[in-house]
Structure 1
Amino acid sequence: GGTLTCTAGSYVVTQADVDQGRIEGRASASGQAPTPAGGTAPIRTTSETSSSGVVTVTQTKGLSVVWGAAPTAAPRAGDRVSYSFVVTNTGNVTMSEVRVEYAGVSGPSLNVVCPTQSLAPGGTLTCTGSYTMTQDDVDGGRVSGAVRASGQAPTPAGGTAPARTVSQVITGTAVITHSPGLSIVKSAAPATVSRVGESVSYSFVVTNNGNVTMSDIRVVDNLADSALTVTCPATGQPLAPGGTLTCTAAAYAVTQADADRGRIASTAVASGRAPAVGGLDPERTVSEGSSSGVVTVTQTRGLSVVRSAAPVTASRAGDRVSYSFVVTNTGNVTMSDVRVVDELVAPAGPALNVTCPTQSLAPGATLTCTAAGPYVVKQADVDRGRVESRAVASGQGPTPAGGTTPERTVSEGSSSGTVTIAHTPGLSVVKSATPARVSRAGESASYSFVVTNTGNVTMSDIRVVHELVAPAGPASAVVCPAAGQPLAPGATLRCTTAPHAVRQADVDRGRVVGHTVASGQAPTVGGVAPERTVSERSSSGTVTAARAPGLSVVKSATPTRVSRAGDRVSYSFVVTNTGNVTMSDIRVVDDLVAPAGLACSAASQTLAPGDTLTCAAGQYVVTQADVRRGRIAGTTKVSGQPVTPADGAVPSRTVAEPSSADTGVVEVIVPKSAASGLARTGVSPLIPFGGAGVLMLLGGVILLIARRRQAASAPHTTT
């Protein structure tokens, strides 16, 4: 029997609730009964559903419409203009099937199309329509209409669909801007006359180039300070936009003044009346003036000019040339303000400043104009081979009375008076070597080449060819820098090459000689490139090799010790080239060896610096005199032929100083006790004693024992 009150948090009303017109809900309660003793918990107890507590939502339906856009430019008949209308949902329910109805007041009704989406409260959507303008619309100056919007509100829950919601009617006017305009084109027949009294007929075509109909068309033409009488027909008026109307004037007779002026010219203006707007007549619309239909009175204007140069030839930059110009009036009107423009053909320039007398020049007459100061020939002129220009004379023809000054009369160009410059291209080259003197193979010599432009034209593509004279070579490539090229007359350019490594053949020759030639490209004349200019051959920059021939010899003996006459000794001689030139025909002389007994390997071949040559002699037989001296020593000398230098003078043979007796010495070791006897008999004390007989055998044994003791105690030196 008890009650319990439960609460929920606040609920926020949604747009769907508003569209439905109420907020409904169903509630149910549930609870847990107690568990019986010793039993299980029962299922929760749930109440029946309650639908009470419905909340009613008050609905407010409303729409508004405004003109979003209307024609604002100056349309023409046939133009399709667009309208837009902005619809706003001013209620609190969603609107669907929104429509806009437009009814014309002073204009057409429109078929307005709206988007199909629903329109939420406060939302907007834009509907559009279009219309093709008529000329009456444009002439009227405005288009008025009334517009209203409608939409379908939602059907309440459990109710019937409400009637369509309709906005208030809004009236609007679209103002059409008038843009009246006229243009006129005048024509004359004939367009050219040649004498006084000829007749000229004029017609004037007026075009309506605005967007409104024009009426009361008039044309005024001011000719020869008195207006022509121009008649415009009523037929064809009013004049619709884009339409034309032709007006005419009485024939006009050419006067002498017209002939003097050289033409008949005037300005025609058209005017008309645009439609009234709001009961007010606008000012007349006036076209721009037309200066067409000019009648030309044939005149002959003409000038000629002949240019002269002094002198007509030049040879170098800095030469001076004077110019004069004879101008002739070849036309039939008097010319004034005669001028001459002489445009020197590039690269010559700038244009000459030519002064002419100030008097007028009658037909057939001449006047002489001169250039202010002589023209100084430039290097570019020399390179081109000539100084050319194009002289043009001009003068002022008579000014038409009341008109504008005519364009100046200009003669044809005169190319006479060309100054010819003969090309004399030339180059020279000087070679330098660093160092200028070397002493051995392997040293380096660097070369530089100074090329001078000795001609009168600029040279380009400078090249240097350096050919080393055999046996030197090959020559290294010479590099000429791009900086400094092209090479002006009198200017120099330094070219270089990689260092040259001195060879043995260079030292043998006594010098490194090379021939150098420079070449370059002279400028093209008349479209034909000349052959390359080549300098004379230069032999400067010779590197001298200081020749220093030299030989040495070392003698060796085998064995280095002997003990008796009759022993044999072998000798060898090592010859070394101690100089810096190649030697040939090597000869060794030793006082112990007969010349015929010396054999040098490849003695006839060349011996390079630092190289060695071995000579061998036949065996030498030791003499008793050698034994007495205790040593064998001899004097050796060597000679050779240095290679012939480049000058062809055969040098003397190179002879080495006699070698010291300390080399190749053989020691003679002799027992002291038998030195004198052995010296007489020449018998070696070491030979075993032998023979027949008892006495001699016994004596030999005793003598042998004694000599062995003596040999064991004797020193190993030469006595």
Structure 2
Amino acid sequence: MANRTTVRRRGIRPVRRALAALAAVAVIAGGMVAGTAGSAQAATETGCSMADAGSGRFASTLCWFDFSGYDSAQARSAAGQEMVVALPGGSRMNFTLKTSGGLIRTVPFPSWSGAYLGNREYRGVGGEPALYQTGHRTTTDLTLSDIRVVNAFGQEMSAFALVGADAESTDTNESIRWISSNPIFSLTANGSDPGVGTACDGRLPGLGTTQVTCAATRSVNKTGNAIVASENPDFWTQRMVGGGVQAVAFGVLLSQLELNKRVESRFAGDDFRISIGGEDGTWVFGDTTGPTGTSATTGRQTVVAKGMETRFTFAERTLAGTMSNYDATWACTRNGTADPTLPTGRSPEYRAEVHVGIGDLVSCTITNARKRTGLSLVKRVAEIEDVNGNGITDAGDRIRYAFRITNTGELPLSEVRIDDPMLGPVSCPPGELAPDASIECTADAPYTVTVEDERAGAVENTATASGRISGTSEDASSPPSRTSTPVQAADPSLSLTKAATPSAAADFVVGQEITYTFVVTNTGNVPIDGVTISEDAFSGSGELSEIQCPADRTLHPDDTMTCTASYTITQADVDAGSLSNTASASGEPAGGGEPVESEPAEEELPSDPEPAIGLEKRASPRTVARAGEIVTYTFHVTNTGNVTLSDPQITELAFSGTGGPLDVSCPTGPFAPGDSVDCTASYEVTQADVDAGRIDNSATAAATPPPGQARPVSAESSAVVTIPAERGLTLVKSADAGEFGEVGQTIEYRFVVTNTGNVTVDGISVDEVEFSGAGELSAIECPSSTLGGGQSMTCTASYEVTQADLDRGELTNGATASGTAVGESEPIVTPPSEVIVEAAQRPSLGLVKSVEPGEAEVGDTVIYRFVITNTGNVSVVDPWIDETGFTGAGELSDVSCPQLVLAPGESAECTASYTVSAGDGGAGSVRNTAVASAYPPDGAATPRSGESHAILVVHAPALPSTPPAQATPVPGELPRTGVELGAGIVLIVVLLLTVGGGAMVVARRRRIDD
């Protein structure tokens, strides 16, 4: 208990040391006093206590010693403390307790909250069974010696075992050792497992020897506990080693016996006694049921036997009654479980020898039930004397009866007798009737039948048997045995049976002759004269012949007479479905009395009507080509049965035509077997039928049979109309404009798709295969994707004209239509349909010419500007200027124009330069006139603008008054003039414009050509 006691022990060590010193002083003083006194101490009287039932394996047989009278001084003395323990059952145990080592105090179970004893097992033990060591580092021995057990009669007993147990918790570095004069065994062991759980580190070395040790190397929560024992030892020592806080407990292992009785059934007044007795007669326990009680018990009795092999006798007997009249059933347990060495089940014995070991709790229950008793009686008619000789049993006849009695029980019976109120005395053999034996008894006189018996129709008789059950005052009785003897009076009676030949349904045909046979039987008990047959009812449409009977028409009881008649079947009989005939027989009872008549006899012949009908279905024409054609169906109905039918009807089972159902017209009225009638219907073919390629039709015919007969239905008949498929598709394309001349103009295209076949075409679409427009044609929209045979539809698309379209000169559009005919997987594709819309091209140019500056003097250079505007509706390329008039005295430079594509509305500027010469001064102005041209799209006329002119005002130069100053050349440089610089710059500009212009022309031509 190292973990638990660390705190406890530190605080109490000084106190314990002081107590130990005081105890030593007290022991010395006590010894001195004792030595001085020299007188013996009186024995300490105490007891022992059992634990609560079920709280431990030996809770009912292990009695823990109460050490509340423990005297430390006496126990530590050389003589020890003598103790006398009162045991259950009146026995007493004497022993001397000696202790050495640490101080001991006594405490109840549990010794502390974590102790196994008193908490987990063996709860409820009274007194102070635990001997607690409170010193440290001390080895303490507690020894019982001079051990002796005597029973209540003063006899010494040896069938016991002393028990030692860890009453606290052996922890780290602590141990308990048990030492005995005899071998030590474990009360917790289960086979080779000592059964201590985690206590003692799970081991108990030394079991089977005289020394066993429980040692611990660790402190853990204990899941078990060490409890050991030694049988009838001379001494018994428990040694606590380690000096910790430890505790042990002593007890004695005894035996307990119990016998119970249960009475399930009894004979009146029987009384039972049960008992348990020792083999030496020292122990006797018993109880009785009394004459009416159903149970008895000895209760649980604690015993200590003399020897180790102890036997007890469990027995029962009757105080009143016979024991052999009862069955005994044993049920025994040893320590709560079945044991094959104990008596069990049903037994013919009423006592058993039971071995009882130390620590055993043997409990037995004997159940008694009275043995089965019973009688059976069989009563019979032995003889009937026909006193009047009329062959029947009637008033005045005599009946003799016999009886057989059997003992069906398990016990003998005596005084067996018959009780029959109607017969009176019955004689049976005397003596005892053994089980399963039988005897015969007879009535002393016969019984004479009376008129009342005649009226009742039978002589009813009931008897019972009884006998005295041996050894009791009770009787066993049989169930009642009954006989019924019929009694007759005169009873004239006739019966009639009627038969027809042939009677098979297959023979019931028109013209078949039927022979009727009438058999009359005398079912009474007297003769009948003048027997005749009369027809009561006959359903035939013809005439039945006269009934022929024998000349002798007297019938004695059980005699018969046969009569005959004949009949020929008609068609009306067959149609009726059956032919019934009812007759009865009559006659006069011999000796007089009222005439007697039989019950009516009926014979019904089934006609086996077989209403049947046949159907042949035809279609005309059998092949069609287009929706709207008319097909006529004919249903040829034939009566193929053997009965008349009427009102034929046609039921369509399957009709694939989508314009149905058919309206079938049939004639009314009957038609005889073999006759035929025609029903008709007409049908208009639909496009869906054409698509299907055929019209399937199947039907059955039915008609009304005679009442009560099944309505006949023909076999299925079919007709097929075929429709060969024709597949075709065309496309015609058109535009709503013959030409176009403006950008943004909308052209509507129409695509007329026609199904030129006779089957539906699905998934129709129009696809453009060629379109020259520079823009995007809108999606082609169709009102449907499906066309029936011969149907057309118009699809549309729109297009907005672009400049490129005008420049190209026309719009070309080609398209195809496609779709898949019903029943086909490959689509139909039309040839392309093309439409061309021409462009109305109008090429035109405008020109505005100007000069900058507008006034100049001789020597000045001016720039001419030519602004060309595309005033047409098509693009032009690479414009140029043609001079139509120029009055200048000098040379006008070449006109430079950009090389480009000029779209409608766009403008381009061309330029030229001119240096005013002296010759222009006299005129006062220079006039210039020009026109503009450009290249149009292919096939269009070259546009030429109107003339545009510009006037340059020239001022005459003033006469200089002083010669102009000359520049002084810088040494080493040539003289330069402004003319030289200006001329160089102009030359460079002209060259650049020429090269650039050429490149632009090439580029523009490529663009417009593309």
TM-score scaled by length of structure 1: 0.45
Report 1 or 2 for greater relative contact order, CA contacts < 8 Å, sequence distance ≥ 6.
Answer: 1
Which structure has the bigger radius of gyration? Answer: 2
Which is strand-richer, 1 or 2?
A: 2
Taking structure 2 as the reference length, the TM-score comes to 0.34
